[in-house]
Amino acid sequence: MTIPVQPPEAGLTRPASLLQAARLPQWLLPPDWPQRELQPALADIGICGRRIVAVTPHRSADVEHPESRWQLHGALVTPCFVDAHTHLDKAYTSSRLHDAGPGLLAAIDAMAKDRSRWSTNDLRERMSRGLEAAWRNGTSHIRTHIDWAEGPEPPLAWHVIRELGQEWSSRLSVEQVSLVKLPVFADFERADRLAWHVASTGPSAILGAFVHSSNWNALALENLFRAAQRHGLDVDLHVDEELNPGACGLVTAARIVRETGFSGRVVCGHACSLAALDDDTASQVLDALSDLPFTLVALPTTNLMLQDAVTGRTPGRRGLTRVHEARARGIPVLFASDNVQDPFCRLGTFDLPEVMTVGTLVAQLPRPFDAWSDSICRSDWLGRGVPPKRAGLVGQPADLVVFPHSDCWSWPSNTAQRTVLRAGQRL
């Protein structure tokens, strides 16, 4: 979403269909949008062909006579969603793995035992199920991390998701990230070869790594960024996924980007260790990111399941990264599904309003519809360049989600029943 909300301009077609009296979130509206009882006025959304051609304050009088009209009576409407961090290769394996112990490293071990079952048919079936669920729930852009062994050659799942991404390209934008253990990048020639394979996949591929205190290697992280820069790749890291205040992946990544002038987008998932730092130290880390091309992705469901996990003891720490403090510094913050029905998280349905329900509670988010729903809608926060401060609908595909039974005070509650529009047509 990059174009300001505005009425039709010269050259834009008049609406052929109209969504009347929609309640859009405040972040999607211009500063001078009219208010009604301290709330944004309802909007009329004009659609022609497959795109939105006008967003204007609702008028009860009939001014134009489009071919079709849908009176929403104030129902909430958002753009379709971006699921910025998932694991389609692992999804729907929990029924096969009953003995995973508590915590992140135990889940990694359990997942490794299942990998022998990952045939082409198994991967296609489970990944397709995940894509179908995401699409029907209202997602239009999904990014999946793919486990990558220590060799430079891509794994089977990498090829399968590339094929599925092409098959789904008319419905979903599918991106794939190499999830590689950080020490693999310790040798630059090896790192460069791996980055070459990622770049050869095409523009939907991103270079990534698992960066944790258990495998920490500063030189390897530097080599990762050097290789990404050399091959024109963005970077997406699993970083500091632990409640260890000594974890230093995020702050080191910021130093490397600053010193090297890395030109791509750096997406950092988890960053749980920020929650273990004192306020002053956490502020220093976030200050170091604030003028760099970083995006943070918060993953409330998996982090709540894994962090501070000890058998027989109620966890005392939430493990969610500092989303309020990051946003206050202008750092883009997204929420995402992460693991779905696998050893890392036994729950989940690739449903982002469901994720936001958990995120709203655990992060105590104020005004989640008006102020925070952008954190599941702003796909431009994953791309290169400086994203606009305000987003809009005009000129964008008519991919929308209507929530007829929720309201701006209770959203994302009561969102299970929704209507998804793709290119202006209801699913």
Active-site annotation, residues:
241
- In degrees, rounded to 5, the angle at the alpha carbon of residue 408 between the alpha carbons of residues 407 and 409 is 90
Coil, helix or strand for 12?
A: coil
Q: How far apart (Å, rounded) are the C-alpha atoms in residues 357 and 365?
A: 10
Whether 309 contacts 315, CB under 8 Å: yes
Contacts of 13 (CB under 8 A, 6+ apart): 48, 49, 53
Which of left, alpha, beta for 327 (phi over 0: left; psi -120 to 50: alpha)? alpha
Q: How far apart (Å, rounded) are the C-alpha atoms in residues 399 and 4?
A: 16
Q: How far apart (Å, rounded) are the C-alpha atoms in residues 55 and 60?
A: 15
Whether 356 contacts 412, CB under 8 Å: yes
User: What amino acid occupies position 195?
Assistant: A
| Residue 181 to residues 152, 203, 249, 302, 410, Cα–Cα distance (Å) | 12, 22, 13, 19, 41
Q: What are phi and psi of 406, to 5 degrees?
A: -110, 175
